[in-house]
Copies of this chain bind each other. A is one copy, B any other.
Amino acid sequence: MTSDATPGRDGTFPALPLAGMRVLELSSFVAAPLGGMTLAQLGADVVRVDPIGGAPDHTRWPLAPSGTSLYWAGLNKGKRSITVDLRSGEGKKLVTRLVTESGPDGGIVLTNAVGRTWLEYEALVKHRPDLVHVRVEGHYDGTPAVDYTVNAAVGFPMVTGPEGHADPVNHVLPAWDIACGLYAALGILSADRRRRITGQGQRMTVALYDVALAMAGNLGFLAEAQVNRVVRKRLGNYLYGGFARDFATSDGGRVMVCALTARHWADLLRVTGMRDVVAALEQSLGVDFGSEDDRFEYREVLAGLLSRWFARHDLAQVRAELAGSSLLWSVYNTFTDLVGDDLIARNPMIDVIDQPGVGRHLAPGIPLALGQGPRASGLRAPVLGEHTVEVLTGTLGLSGGDVSELVRKGVVGPLPTAEELASASASTS
């Protein structure tokens, strides 16, 4: 089970791009765990070190009927797990050794742990001068923040949601955590490159708030406010600066339709039979709906006309008509629709994995497809402490007896039972 779940470090998948890289992760929640998982999915050996009993994210909702966190299982696939008493001197020494004695391709730490000075760059670099240390934090000054507070702070909830809605609309998707975790992984890979060339280590930090602020700037929202002095308003489901919107079908379905180019627009008019009506409107208004600017300006008029066609056709008819066009469109799905869709099960990124405590279910690999060489497929999350013995014997050269003694003293957590490791494959197909 172990070697199936953790290819890369044992030579099973020698062609994975990060084969050989060794990362120690002390993390919780989304950003840092996603960063570590991404490296593991690319072939790195990522060992997640947790306090005995698990970090606070180990029981985060949603939970499977067994109580196993589906969230934790999703964000820690492909890692190895060891639990350590992070408050004891011996535990700290053990983790420090896992950093320093992890070979030339190791010495890489990814963490969002707070208040553990012995885990900071300054402390660890004394033992390993070429240390690569990437810390995920809330704000650049070290004060905490979470996706919800950062999102409120940078302005997106004030432009998201139905037109005319007065109150902020939060994201359910933790978009900033996701971007932050990917930046953390980028930090590790770029520091690894520099170390490979110069021999020098690197300390980096990535703040969740800065990720959000950077994107508000990168996408032009800050400059629009500062340079143009424009206060962006809510546009509901309209696209800003072009023509795209959702439409309701006669049977209660919903589709998102994007007419971004002149060709898309011509196709949308053809499909909906609105060519002549819109041409007459263009002439009488003296505008050109072949231009994105004019389509955006008159979006409500155009949507009002087009929506009548959608309201007269059911979802199956709408699908058939749109499929024959150049338009970019999609039906709105629920997560339940998605997991019932054959297309998902056939997606080469999707595997059926058998996760202890969860059972067989659809789980994604990394959305980077490698054109040559094998794929890291079927990676599941570890059970807490699953790799304690192999990490301590493999990396530090301890004997089985040494490990038992550490377990007995409570320096490392108990090894999972056979029951905890057993498949729960009864549950789902």
Give Cα A365–Cα B215 distance, bound, in whole angstroms. Answer: 10
Q: List 26 A-B contacts (CB under 8 A).
A: A17-B190, A61-B241, A62-B224, A62-B230, A70-B223, A71-B219, A74-B218, A140-B348, A140-B349, A151-B256, A152-B256, A152-B333, A155-B338, A160-B170, A162-B167, A167-B237, A172-B235, A183-B367, A193-B196, A204-B369, A205-B369, A211-B367, A213-B338, A222-B338, A222-B363, A225-B334
Bound form: Cα–Cα A20–B196 in Å: 13
Q: CB-defined interface of A155-166 with B at 8 Å, one 1/0 digit per residue?
A: 111111110010
Contact A75 B219, beta carbon cutoff 8 Å: yes
Contacts of A214 in B (CB 8 A): 349, 364-367
CB atoms of A173 and B215 under 8 A apart = yes
Across the interface, which residues of B come within 8 angstroms of A362, CB to CB?
A: 217, 222-223, 226
Interface residue stretch chosen among A142-150, A272-280, A394-402:
A142-150
Stretch at the interface among A30-38, A86-94, A383-391, A410-418: A30-38
Say yes or no for A171: interface residue by CB 8 A criterion.
yes
Q: Contact flags (1/0) for A122-161 with B, using CB distance below 8 Å? A: 0000000000010000101000111011111111111111
Cβ of A356 within 8 Å of any chain B Cβ, yes or no, is no
A309 adjacent to chain B (CB < 8 Å): no
B213 with A364: CB separation less than 8 A? yes
Residue contact A240 to B152, C-beta cutoff 8 Å: no
A189: which B residues are within 8 A, CB to CB? 186, 189-190, 193
| A213 contact from B178, B204, B347, Cβ within 8 A | B347
| Listed stretches A282-290, A300-308, A310-318, A323-331; interface member | A323-331
Cβ of A194: which chain B residues have Cβ within 8 Å of it? 15, 17-19
| Chain B residues, Cβ within 8 Å of A74 | 217-220, 223
- Which residue of chain B has the shortest Cβ distance to A192 in the bound complex? B193
Residue A203 lies at the interface, judged by CB distance under 8 Å to chain B? yes
Tell yes or no: A7 within 8 A of B by CB: no
Complex Cα gap A256–B186 (Å): 30
Q: Is the CB of B148 within 8 A of A239?
A: yes
Question: How far in angstroms is the closest Cβ of chain B from A199?
Answer: 13
Q: Is A42 in the interface zone, CB < 8 Å from B?
A: yes
**Which bucket holds chain A's interface residue count?**
35 or more
Q: Are B190 and A18 in contact (CB under 8 A)?
A: yes
State in angstroms the CA–CA spacing of A384 and B179 once bound together: 28
C-alpha gap A182/B261 in the complex (Å): 26
Nearest Cβ on chain B to A8's Cβ, whole angstroms: 12
Partner pick for A226 among B175, B339, B366, CB 8 A cutoff: B339
Note all chain B residues with C-beta closer than 8 A to A361: 222-223, 226-227
Quick one: closest B residue to A195, CB to CB?
B17
A350 within 8 A of B: yes
Q: Are A328 and B149 in contact (CB under 8 A)?
A: yes
What CA separation (Å) do A349 and B180 show in the bound complex?
15
Contact A169:B169 (CB < 8 A) given known A154-B333, A217-B74: yes
Whether the pair B196, A158 counts as a contact (CB closer than 8 A) is no
Cβ of A61 to closest chain B Cβ, rounded Å:
3
Within the assembled complex, what's the spacing in Å between the Cα atoms of A368 and B202?
Answer: 12
Q: Are A330 and B149 in contact (CB under 8 A)?
A: yes
